[in-house]
Amino acid sequence: MKIKTLADLKKIKAEVQEKIKLREQGENAGNIVQVKVAMATCGIASGAKETMSFIIEELDFRGIDAVVTQTGCMGYCYAEPTIEVTLPGKDPVVYGYVDREKARQIIDEYIVKGELVDGIIPVNYKTIDE
Q: Which residues of this protein are in contact with another protein, per CB under 8 A?
A: 2-6, 8-10, 12-13, 15-17, 19-20, 39-41, 44-45, 49, 52-53, 56-57, 60, 68-70, 72-75, 77, 128, 130
Least spacing, CB of residue 115 vs another protein, in Å: 25
Choose between 12 and 29: whose C-beta lies nearer to another protein: 12
CA separation for the pair 123, 109 (Å, rounded)? 21
- Least Å distance, CB 97 to another protein, is 18
Pick between residue 114 and residue 126 the one whose CB is nearest to another protein. Answer: 126
* Cα-based angle 42, 47, 49 (whole degrees, multiple of 5): 100
* Shortest spacing between CB 70 and another protein, in angstroms: 5
Give 3 or 116: the residue with its C-beta nearer to another protein.
Answer: 3
Geometric angle at alpha carbon 103, from 13 and 56, rounded to 5°:
10
Closest Cα partner for 130 from 53, 73, 84?
Answer: 73
- Rounded distance, CA 26 to CA 53, Å? 24
CA–CA gap between residue 119 and residue 82 (Å, rounded): 10
Closest distance between another protein and the C-beta of residue 107, in Å?
Answer: 14
